[in-house]
Chain A
Amino acid sequence: MKNPSVDTHLLPADSGSIGTEPLLAVDNLHVEFTTRQGVARAVNGVSYALNAGETLAVLGESGSGKSVTAQAIMGILDMPPARIPKGEIRFRGTDLLQLSEAQRSQIRGQQIAMIFQDALSALNPVFTVGWQIAEMFRVHKGMSKKAAYAKAVELMDRVRIPAAKQRVNDYPHQFSGGMRQRIMIAMSIALDPDVLIADEPTTALDVTVQAQIMELLAELQRESNMGMILITHDLGVVADVADKIAVMYGGRIVENAPVHDIYRNAAHPYTKGLLESIPRVDMKGQELYAIKGLPPNLLDMPTGCAFHPRCPFRQDDCVTDVPALHEISGTRSSACHYWREVLDGTAG
């Protein structure tokens, strides 16, 4: 356990240019919002990395900071009230936060694209879907109207919208929820981005349609080797598609791990609680395990570990000391003072 962390940490910095630098790296990112009630610290030192072709799932409840982190990467936070006091977002080694707005809008859409949860409110109701998809090509590539429309039809075919040619001039309200989400996906992959951020892409959809959309995303990812950040609260979807997981709580990452490890054995009490609160077949008729209490108020974060008021394994130092993100192995880390005990089941 002695200092493998130092080695792995130094390597990418030294040899960043020869390909060990991840595609996208978020490093110690802080985001805060100034509100009338005070400063809400939505993101408090989040770091994660994404490689090409990889799917990173960011798991967390509402208010955990998972969407705000994604919006900071996209550069679509309203500033003010938002502020990024600290941190770096490196895309292919360049810190996005240091770029001008003009440079960022070059990257947005072309290199990093995003899919939103609610396709109906993300699409403009007064323009046809063809117009909206074609806009990507006209604005970013300077294509003619006609060529851009042809591209739009091609994309609608690619995301498997039936009769794309006839439907290109329809408006968003004429499509079903699943079809609208396909149009969102078509827009986001229009310029072949390297990174796709999907913020709860299937939460508003039925399970059978969800399965269609997740399969489509996986297929597009295989074809183009995109890196994907999947933001979700659904433990089932994560288990289905993710390569690695970052669990967020109260604006911090509390556990980082490859997908198989986390479901086998959680190293943070919050992750453990989440996994245990899923209804299971063999537990029928018994009371479900429930994490007691409520998620923290961002305006008034608990001292020490943000999870301590709800934690069944709480010790005195959890109330006073903020736990560091302890490295467990090269690919795994947990922000719990007692991760060893949580892992081997002797905590509490």
Chain B
Amino acid sequence: MAPQGDPILEVRDLVKHFPLTQGIVMKRQIGAIKAVDGVSFDLRRGETLGVVGESGCGKSTLAKLLMALEKPTSGSVKVNGELVDVHKGSNLKRFRRNIQMVMQDPYTSLNPRMTVGDIIGEPYEIHTDVAPKGDRRKKVQDLLEVVGLNPDHINRYPHQFSGGQRQRIGIARGLALQPEIIICDEPVSALDVSIQAQVINLLERLQTEFGLAYIFIAHDLSVVRHISDRVAVMYLGKIVEIGKDTEIYDKPSHPYTQALLSAVPVPDPEGRESRERIILQGDPPSPANPPSGCRFRTRCWKAQEICAVEEPLLQIRPGTDHESACHFAEVHDVVHAS
């Protein structure tokens, strides 16, 4: 389904700093982990936005902020044009019905003491208006069928299912309230290769069927490319490049995106000796003390004086057609060039 119409989700300058404190009785703040530091994007109905980046870049904190599981330090999230007020219970309840999450690890995100029926039906306990009490069991069975599980297994416990089947249970729970947005935080990375494809196909089918919009967070770039309409690349709490999937993968203009793409092993041994590889030195800096100016400059081979002084804004750069946060943005096709 092609994305269309007005944005369903508008995120503006979202910031989340976790305070670092010192002392036990007299706690004082000595700094902050800048997990998410000014992130803005739109998501349209039926669209999939892929979010990629290394661990510690803030992708999972971003997911928690969008779910209103964490209160943002500043910035705003609008759903269907309505501002989400994290301090107001009734507002939050309505909002949460519309945005749901599928977690990474299907082994720890399902309560082992609850039956599958109770797990999937639990959202109805809170949002009682969605399904009247007598109707719930039927609804849960329908959901099981939608995600490709046997509706007769409603009374089984999570341990009786395999990893892929558990992830389907997690997806069914996410669908229970008929949300418009689902945030998938690494939904297939804990699964075996042959099972990953099954779950990805399921997610795509559900998107077409229910017109869902996905935020798809993952570190596997080939999976992200397959499922996403647009892709955002994050580094140390900021989006460094965002654009259509073809723009990001075929015409990456930010050095970090180029390094990330070139580091992904290509499942084809032909020409592996001549393939271009940009190997970054060192690890990402700590988000508690990010470098001045451009945050990537400490690992960047293009860095010059200006990079330490002036922070590059996320904007369309000369010679490219999508936004990139680099003073020296330049399209360079790392995947196909050889």
Partners in one complex: yes
Answer whether residue B316 sits at the interface, using C-beta atoms and an 8 A cutoff: no
Q: Which residue of B lies closest to A270 (CB)?
A: B194
Q: What's the minimum C-beta distance from B31 to chain A, rounded to whole angstroms?
A: 19
Report the interface size class on chain B: 35 or more
Cα-based distance from A237 to B265 in the complex (angstroms) = 5
Within 8 A of B (CB), among A163-221: 176-179, 206-212, 214-215
Answer whether residue B135 sits at the interface, using C-beta atoms and an 8 A cutoff: no
Q: Are A207 and B162 in contact (CB under 8 A)?
A: no
Q: Are B263 and A207 in contact (CB under 8 A)?
A: yes
Q: Are A263 and B204 in contact (CB under 8 A)?
A: no
Q: A162-B282, A240-B272 are in contact. Are A289 and B197 (CB under 8 A)?
A: yes
Report the interface size class on chain A: 35 or more
Answer whether residue A340 sits at the interface, using C-beta atoms and an 8 A cutoff: no
Q: What's the minimum C-beta distance from A281 to chain B, rounded to whole angstroms?
A: 7
Cα-based distance from A242 to B267 in the complex (angstroms) = 11
Answer whether residue B198 sits at the interface, using C-beta atoms and an 8 A cutoff: yes
Q: Which residue of B lies closest to A234 (CB)?
A: B265
Q: Are A263 and B164 in contact (CB under 8 A)?
A: no
Q: What's the minimum C-beta distance from A203 to chain B, rounded to whole angstroms?
A: 10
Q: What's the minimum C-beta distance from B194 to chain A, rounded to whole angstroms?
A: 4
What is the interface of chain A mostly: helix, strand, loop, or mixed?
helix
Within 8 A of A (CB), among B213-232: 219, 221-223, 225-227
Cα-based distance from A178 to B263 in the complex (angstroms) = 15
Cα-based distance from A308 to B336 in the complex (angstroms) = 38
- Residues on A with C-beta less than 8 A from B259 are 208
Chain A 247-290 near chain B by CB (<8 Å), digits 1 or 0: 00000000000011001000000000111011111011001111
- Residues on A with C-beta less than 8 A from B129 are none
What is the interface of chain B mostly: helix, strand, loop, or mixed?
helix
Chain B 39-75 near chain A by CB (<8 Å), digits 1 or 0: 0000000000000001100000000000000000000
Cα-based distance from A324 to B195 in the complex (angstroms) = 27
Q: Are B267 and A211 in contact (CB under 8 A)?
A: no
Q: Are A277 and B197 in contact (CB under 8 A)?
A: yes
Q: A62-B192, A235-B193, A236-B265 are in contact. Are A279 and B223 (CB under 8 A)?
A: yes
Within 8 A of A (CB), among B79-129: none
Q: Which residue of A lies closest to B250 (CB)?
A: A281
Answer whether residue A294 sits at the interface, using C-beta atoms and an 8 A cutoff: yes
Q: A277 is contacted by which of B196, B227, B277 (Cβ under 8 Å)?
A: B196
Q: What's the minimum C-beta distance from A293 to chain B, rounded to whole angstroms?
A: 9
Answer whether residue B279 sits at the interface, using C-beta atoms and an 8 A cutoff: yes
Answer whether residue A239 sits at the interface, using C-beta atoms and an 8 A cutoff: yes
Q: A207-B54, A288-B197, A290-B194 are in contact. Are A263 and B279 (CB under 8 A)?
A: no
Q: A61 is contacted by which of B193, B262, B268 (Cβ under 8 Å)?
A: B193
- Residues on A with C-beta less than 8 A from B205 are 287
Q: A236 is contacted by which of B225, B226, B264 (Cβ under 8 Å)?
A: B264
Cα-based distance from A215 to B262 in the complex (angstroms) = 13
Cα-based distance from A273 to B196 in the complex (angstroms) = 12
Q: Are A206 and B54 in contact (CB under 8 A)?
A: yes
The 10 closest A-B pairs by CB, nearest first: A236-B265, A279-B226, A290-B197, A211-B263, A277-B197, A206-B54, A291-B194, A61-B192, A235-B267, A288-B197
Question: Residues on B close to A: CB < 8 A?
Answer: 54-55, 162, 164, 192-198, 200-201, 204-205, 219, 221-223, 225-227, 245, 249, 259-260, 262-270, 272, 277, 279-283
